[in-house]
């Protein structure tokens, strides 16, 4: 066991020694917590993010825990992803793990009040982005005969939150992408799973109205928001060799909100 880098209690060690992981949106929130946990488990971590200042802060902190590199990547742009994939391979020689964590909410409003460009941007980042990253990374995993892909969906993708049609639809699509890709790769030792967290109190809350935040909390039987280190624990197990016979699965982490 080791002490959680975020200052929490001791947690179980998952062996990721020798593994190279890419985490999108890894400069903050759940992605940053997953990076901490993976580094503590022996992995080399590559962070892809769009925010240079946040990436610099994350790199300074994570660099104390292990081998980490980072790139500015626009996840809706094929050329940007291709360049970042090439850079990761040049630095580290392979890619074993991909965590599609980056996402945006696009604010809260009724469907007919949301501007089309806002709706499209949410779907582009939250769904098209993971498609493009998988498209770039999966062939590299197939070359080595090993891979673990973890997609960060949302309970909204199961339930459909009101005033968040764009976000809910994008996360439902990510669940579908997970299931389809997993079946395509089922005999390749490249496993694809997703988690459906309830809300965690991260910077993404800054994009939401307070009434929407209150609504989300009211739906969680445990009456609290998810802690990012709790999500990281599930992500790291799914990214490990210990996860060997689960693929195309949706792992709930919603404090009792989901009943299926």
Instruction: Let me know the angle formed at the C-alpha of 37 by 34 and 39, rounded to the nearest 5 degrees.
Output: 105
Residues 6+ apart with CB under 8 A from 107: 114, 118, 207, 208, 209
Active-site positions?
Answer: 167
Contact criterion met (CB below 8 Å) for 129 and 100: yes
Residue that has been written with the tokens 């793990």 in this structure: 97
Residue pair 189/146 in contact by the 8 Å Cβ criterion: yes
- Measured CA to CA, the distance from residue 6 to residue 46 in angstroms comes to 19
Are 111 and 165 within 8 A, CB to CB? Answer: yes
């Amino acid at each position: 066991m080791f002490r959680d880098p975020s200052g929490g209690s001791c947690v179980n060690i998952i062996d990721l020694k020798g593994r190279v992981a890419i985490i999108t949106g890894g400069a903050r929130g759940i992605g940053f917590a997953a990076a901490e946990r993976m580094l503590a488990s022996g992995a080399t971590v590559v962070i892809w993010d769009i925010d240079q200042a946040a990436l610099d802060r994350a790199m300074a902190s994570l660099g104390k825990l292990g081998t980490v590199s980072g790139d500015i990547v626009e996840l809706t742009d094929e050329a940007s992803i291709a360049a970042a994939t090439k850079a990761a391979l040049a630095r580290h020689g392979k890619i074993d793990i991909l965590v599609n964590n980056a996402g945006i909410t696009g604010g809260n409003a009724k469907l007919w009040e949301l501007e089309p460009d806002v709706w499209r941007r949410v779907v582009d980042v939250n769904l098209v982005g993971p498609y493009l990253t998988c498209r770039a990374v999966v062939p590299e995993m197939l070359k080595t005969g090993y891979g673990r892909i973890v997609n960060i969906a949302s309970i909204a993708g199961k339930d459909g939150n009101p005033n968040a049609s764009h976000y809910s639809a994008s996360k439902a699509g990510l669940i579908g992408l997970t299931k389809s890709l997993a079946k395509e790769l089922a005999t390749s030792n490249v496993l694809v799973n997703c988690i459906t967290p309830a809300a965690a109190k991260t910077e993404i809350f800054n994009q939401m109205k307070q009434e929407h935040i209150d609504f989300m909390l009211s739906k969680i039987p445990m009456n609290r928001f998810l802690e990012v280190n709790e999500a990281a624990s599930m992500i790291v197990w799914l990214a490990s060799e210990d996860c060997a016979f689960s693929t195309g699965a949706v792992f709930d982490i919603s404090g009792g909100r989901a009943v299926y």
